[in-house]
């Protein structure tokens, strides 16, 4: 049997009619759109990520079914669930993440240190899960816009496994595809060499280190006064340059030094020197446990909103030291009052 037909047999295929009529556009993308839709049968909100087949090619839908059928099997607390695919419009149907992307949160709100640490640990948990599959499921496009936030501001990894080295035709196309998606800063230096090896788990470890830097600094990498060009980033990274540690705020708690050490190991020029997520996750877990802010490893805080870990006022330095984590006992109203936007 054709493997695609095999995947089709078991896999959920939705049609336009399966959703209520009011589609809310969440995001316009260069390759399609993301909508918030409601499934008539389940009475549940879902995200529908459509793909423009004029840009992606006609074989794309078949490939998407193959990929989505693999993703459907991945169920883990820190991974966005894929429910199936839609045939018209060609789209992936997945869990709706009410608080959008980490990318947006990092620019819109000040995060307090405990929340930063918790997010780093949760991202490591998600990545460790993908890499512990057999064979490891490579993400190859890990970045803050592919890290989504649930109702309680806990993170889930999204869009894993959509980028494929083999299908790109050439290494140049692979890099071009990622660059077109705004992912240049997350590509490790070895991918820019003349004869790069097939990307492995250490590709994602590198991307993760840049995500760590963005969480710690709440800034975009390699931006002096203006946005760096693709070529500038490529040259810098190839020559061993990395985002500056001086951008990490001075009010950092001393535990941050350990996070920085992990980050620096993860962005090592030599991929063999970068740790596996199975190693990193133990270190971030230990940090979280020492600080008593985790709860993510035993799942006992999933119903607690974490708004308390967003800084109460814009531009104000966080007064929260990690040795004295914030009071988490606020009512939901108190919590919402604490939310503030960055300018």
* Binds ligand ATP (CB under 6 A): choice among 37, 71, 91, 94: 94
Radius of gyration, CA atoms only, the chain: 20
CA distance 108 to 225: 20
The yes or no reply on residue 205 touching ligand ATP (CB under 6 A) is no
Residues within window 173-202 making contact with ligand ATP, judged by CB under 6 A: 181, 183
Residue 72 touches which member of Mg ion, ligand ATP, none, C-beta under 5-8 Å by kind: none
The yes or no reply on residue 101 touching ligand ATP (CB under 6 A) is yes
Minimum Å gap between C-beta 33 and Mg ion is 12
The values of phi and psi at residue 40, to 5°, are: -60, -45
| Closest CB to ligand ATP among residues 49, 220 | 49
* Binds ligand ATP (CB under 6 A): choice among 124, 128, 141, 280: 141
User: Do the Cβ atoms of 329 and 262 come closer than 8 Å?
Assistant: no
* Binds ligand ATP (CB under 6 A): choice among 50, 69, 128, 146: 146
Which positions ≥6 away from 165 have C-beta within 8 Å? Answer: 140, 171, 174, 198, 199
The yes or no reply on residue 49 touching ligand ATP (CB under 6 A) is yes
Q: Which stretch binds Mg ion (CB under 5 A): 12-20, 141-149, 168-176, 284-292?
A: 141-149
* Binds Mg ion (CB under 5 A): choice among 18, 95, 159, 190: 159
The yes or no reply on residue 266 touching ligand ATP (CB under 6 A) is no
Which x/- pattern, by CB under 6 A, does the window 56-75 give for ligand ATP?
Answer: --------------------
Residue 96 touches which member of ligand ATP, Mg ion, none, C-beta under 5-8 Å by kind: ligand ATP
* Binds ligand ATP (CB under 6 A): choice among 18, 67, 103, 268: 103
Mark 262-286 as b/e (b = at least 16 C-beta within 10 Å). Answer: bbebbbbeebeebbebeebbebbbe
* Strand blocks (E) in the chain: 13-14, 24-29, 32-39, 44-50, 82-86, 91-95, 147-149, 155-157
Which positions ≥6 away from 17 have C-beta within 8 Å? Answer: none
DSSP 101: B
Half-sphere exposure of 41 (CA within 13 A, CB side): 5
Q: Which stretch binds ligand ATP (CB under 6 A): 58-66, 90-98, 284-292, 332-340?
A: 90-98
CA distance 269 to 197: 14
| Closest CB to Mg ion among residues 110, 130 | 130
Q: What 3-state DSSP class applies to 85?
A: strand
* Binds Mg ion (CB under 5 A): choice among 146, 177, 280, 318: 146
Q: Which stretch binds Mg ion (CB under 5 A): 111-119, 154-162, 163-171, 233-241?
A: 154-162
CA nearest neighbour of 127 among 14, 265, 266: 266
Residues within the interface to ligand ATP (CB under 6 A)? 26-27, 29, 31, 34, 47, 49, 80, 94-97, 100-101, 103-104, 141, 145-146, 148, 158-159, 181, 183
Residues within the interface to Mg ion (CB under 5 A)? 146, 159
């Amino acid at each position: 049997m054709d493997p695609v037909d095999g995947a089709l047999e078991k896999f959920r295929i939705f049609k336009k009619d399966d959703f209520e009529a009011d589609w809310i556009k969440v995001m316009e993308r260069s390759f399609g759109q993301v909508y918030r839709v409601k499934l008539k049968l389940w009475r549940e909100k879902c995200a529908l990520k459509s793909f423009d087949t004029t840009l992606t090619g006609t074989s794309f839908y078949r490939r998407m079914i193959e990929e989505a059928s693999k993703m459907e099997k991945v169920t883990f607390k820190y991974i966005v669930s894929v429910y199936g695919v839609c045939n018209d419009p060609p789209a992936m149907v997945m869990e709706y993440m009410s608080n959008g992307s980490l990318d947006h949160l990092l620019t819109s709100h000040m995060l307090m240190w405990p929340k930063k640490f918790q997010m780093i640990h949760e991202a490591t948990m998600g990545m460790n899960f993908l890499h512990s599959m057999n064979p490891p499921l490579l993400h190859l496009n890990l970045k803050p816009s592919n890290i989504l936030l649930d109702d309680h501001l806990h993170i889930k990894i999204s869009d894993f496994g959509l980028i494929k080295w083999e299908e790109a035709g050439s290494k140049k196309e692979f890099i071009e595809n990622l660059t077109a998606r705004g992912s240049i800063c997350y590509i490790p230096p070895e991918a820019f060499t003349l004869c790069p090896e097939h990307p492995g788990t250490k590709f994602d470890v590198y991307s993760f280190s840049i995500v760590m830097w963005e969480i710690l600094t709440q800034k975009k990498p390699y931006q002096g006064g203006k946005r760096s060009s693709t070529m500038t980033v490529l040259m810098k990274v190839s020559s061993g340059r990395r985002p500056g540690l001086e951008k990490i705020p001075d009010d950092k708690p001393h535990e941050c030094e350990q996070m920085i050490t992990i980050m620096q190991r993860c962005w090592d020029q030599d991929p063999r020197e970068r740790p596996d997520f199975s190693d990193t996750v133990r270190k971030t877990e230990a940090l979280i446990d020492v600080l008593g802010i985790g709860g993510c490893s035993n799942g006992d805080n999933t119903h607690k909103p974490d708004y308390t870990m967003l800084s109460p006022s814009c531009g104000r330095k966080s007064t929260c030291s990690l040795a004295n984590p914030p009071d988490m006992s606020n009512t939901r109203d108190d919590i919402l009052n604490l939310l503030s936007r960055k300018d």
